[in-house]
Structure 1
Amino acid sequence: MKNYTKFAIVASFFGLWMDSYFSTRLQIISGFVLILSFGILHGANDLQLIDKIDIVKHKNSTFRILIYYVIVVLMGILLFYLFPLLALVIFIVVSAYHFGEQQWQKLPNSLPIWSRILYQFLYGFTILFLLFVFHTNQVQNIIFNITNFKIPNQYFWELLKVTGIAFISLSCYLYWKILKIRKKLLLEFFHLVVFSIIFKSSSLIWGFAIYFVVWHSVPSIIDQIKFLNGSVSKKHFLSYCKAAAVYWFVSILGIALIYFFLKEEQLFNAVFFSFLAAITFPHALVITRMLHRK
């Protein structure tokens, strides 16, 4: 993963350089293309992961898993329909932990489980709100379209300050307490600086796409392929894509239908992120179980 980290930094700044040549509309289109390709792909193989995690096999287990998975997604969509503000808060919390867990999956087991979970959450939450504070007006509009509730500008900054202080404090404690993760801590703080530059210099969708694809989705795909096959190769990647193809296509079809009926940009963004949230809930749980198995 060390080589991939170097690639991710180069790819991020290349994306930032491309940003200067893209119009706002082209940034949005390119961002959605990235999200809909690797972004959706990294969550389209959950059923195969569950099948690998579930040691005890049952009759028609794949079909049962599919039914359970669809039910969870539909419950997520229903939650956004009935209680949109609550659903959005849950989505942000789950996404923050999911992002942090991916980046900090190798925290020492000697740490209490609550401190590992808290640290992973604070890291992901910091990333999300770094993105939010640089695009407050757009985020406000999306939240308003989802929940019909307008969040004051200062709330974003205050939440980032509180989270940032808690994250830095816990990082200092870990730096003092655990020698073997000191380099990792310094590297991740450097990554946060990189993310800040990207979020500040690009549009909301393009900045999110760079982080979501380059720093989250692709590393997650690598971890999943290793978990499923023991190693990463071209053959295993093609096998992964083949297994995920049907579920990826269904997701793309659903998003295409949303776009067809909701062509107004702000409304589409709102519904798109609601849909993304609904499929994130079960995916985050699957990845957590996968990492625990590893």
Structure 2
Amino acid sequence: MKSTESLFKILGLIVCLGFSLIPELPQYIEFAFAGLVLLFVGIPHGAIDHLTSQPTIDFKGLIVFLVRYLSLIGAYLVVWYFLPQVALVIFLAFSAYHFGQTHFLKIENSDVRSKMLFITRGSFFLSVILFGDFQMTTFILDPIVDVSFLETYSFVVMGVSLSLTIGIEFWTFRKIKFESMVDLVILAPLLYMAPLFISFVVYFGFWHALPSMRLEYEFLNRFPQYNSLLKFAKQLIPFTLLSLVGISGLLLFGMRFLDQSELLLLFFILISLISFPHVFYMDHFIKKFKTARY
């Protein structure tokens, strides 16, 4: 799967470049590409949290898992309803950690320094994505908060986060890894120039979801019931379909009552809701996988 991941990363860079050079491309192409990435990579990588948590899970264990998972989603939904600005900050914070962690899946420790590295790396790329198409960012967030004043500080925020993440990586490894140089020198500028949805799904799908899925496959391949690509793929289907039906249904319902900015915000809220428990389970899985405690 490593070669497949590399091919899709190259595809992602080409797509970002294409949308940057041809900004007049119809928006439906942008949404279609984003939908395909979410359908085949983005959502499926979180659809087997029950198996990475407990590979030999039985029906009772699955019920317990679902109750806990849905409880976390419900609690976060309450925060979105009553304190949307707080919920947004939480979303950005856990996304920064979660995305940054995927850049350094080979780190075996989980000390404070590595957590700082994850947060700063994820924060840098999120800032690049959000400030790169800041007009769309403000359009989406307008229903809950006015962030237009941040545009003045965009390069300061990106520069500080970049300096911090490079400094912490050098502090951790005494060098800047080649993969990091590629991400920082090639990926970041292309994400900045691309439309928001394209930069988000390229980064989310090919730099986060695919590496995560590769790690999940490497782990589950140890068990006879999952030890082939086909067997692994079959496990992705049930909860992927369930998530897609739920998200699609809510978006179709929202189309009747919401304007475009509110509908786009609803989409990101729905993504944040299914991501919230996934972050906790994935973090736990990565830590246990690296320490061979499974």
- What TM-score, normalized to structure 1? 0.86
1:8 to partner: Cα distance: 3.9
Query: Aligned partners of 1:81 and 1:209: how far apart in 2?
Result: 25
What RMSD, in angstroms, separates the aligned Cα atoms of the two structures?
2.5
1:97 to partner: Cα distance: 0.6
Question: Is the Cα contact below 8 Å between 1:8 and 1:215 reproduced in 2?
Answer: no
Question: Is the Cα contact below 8 Å between 1:12 and 1:198 reproduced in 2?
Answer: no
TM-superposition CA deviations, 1:214-266 (whole Å, max 9, x none): 111111111111111239xx963332332232211121112112221223432
Instruction: Please name the residue that 1:39 is paired with.
Output: 42
- Which 5+ residue runs of structure 1 have no aligned equivalent? 177-181
Query: Aligned partners of 1:59 and 1:46: how far apart in 2?
Result: 15
TM-superposition CA deviations, 1:185-241 (whole Å, max 9, x none): 23212212222232233211112111111111111111111111239xx96333233
Instruction: Please name the residue that 1:237 is paired with.
Output: 229
Instruction: Please name the residue that 2:156 is paired with.
Output: 158
* Residue 271 of structure 2 corresponds to residue 273 of structure 1: no
Question: Is the Cα contact below 8 Å between 1:45 and 1:244 reproduced in 2?
Answer: yes
Alignment of 1:1-294 (within 5 A): 3-4=3-4, 6-16=6-16, 18-19=18-19, 20=22, 22-52=25-55, 60-109=60-109, 113-145=111-143, 147-152=144-149, 153-176=151-174, 182=175, 185-230=177-222, 236-263=228-255, 264-294=259-289
Query: Aligned partners of 2:187 and 2:17: how far apart in 1?
Result: 14
Question: Is the Cα contact below 8 Å between 1:24 and 1:203 reproduced in 2?
Answer: no
Range with bigger deviation, 151-160 or 276-285 = 151-160
1:98 to partner: Cα distance: 0.6
Instruction: Say if 1:273 and 1:163 are closer, same or farther in 2 by CA, change over 3 A.
Output: same
TM-superposition CA deviations, 1:35-74 (whole Å, max 9, x none): 233101111111122223xx9x898222111111111111
Instruction: Please name the residue that 2:292 is paired with.
Output: none
1:155 to partner: Cα distance: 4.2
- Which 5+ residue runs of structure 2 have no aligned equivalent? 290-294
Range with bigger deviation, 215-224 or 149-158 = 149-158
Instruction: Say if 1:126 and 1:292 are closer, same or farther in 2 by CA, change over 3 A.
Output: same
Range with bigger deviation, 128-137 or 20-29 = 20-29
Counterpart of 1:37, as a letter, is F
1:31 to partner: Cα distance: 1.2
Query: Aligned partners of 2:108 and 2:284: how far apart in 1?
Result: 17
Seq. identity, %:
20
Counterpart of 2:112, as a letter, is W
Query: Aligned partners of 1:36 and 1:269: how far apart in 2?
Result: 17
Query: Aligned partners of 1:25 and 1:290: how far apart in 2?
Result: 36
- What TM-score, normalized to structure 2? 0.86
Query: Aligned partners of 1:189 and 1:235: how far apart in 2?
Result: 34
Query: Aligned partners of 1:17 and 1:235: how far apart in 2?
Result: 37
1:29 to partner: Cα distance: 2.3
- Paired residues in the alignment total 280
Counterpart of 2:233, as a letter, is C
TM-superposition CA deviations, 1:96-153 (whole Å, max 9, x none): 11111111122253xx7000111111111111101111111111222222x2343412
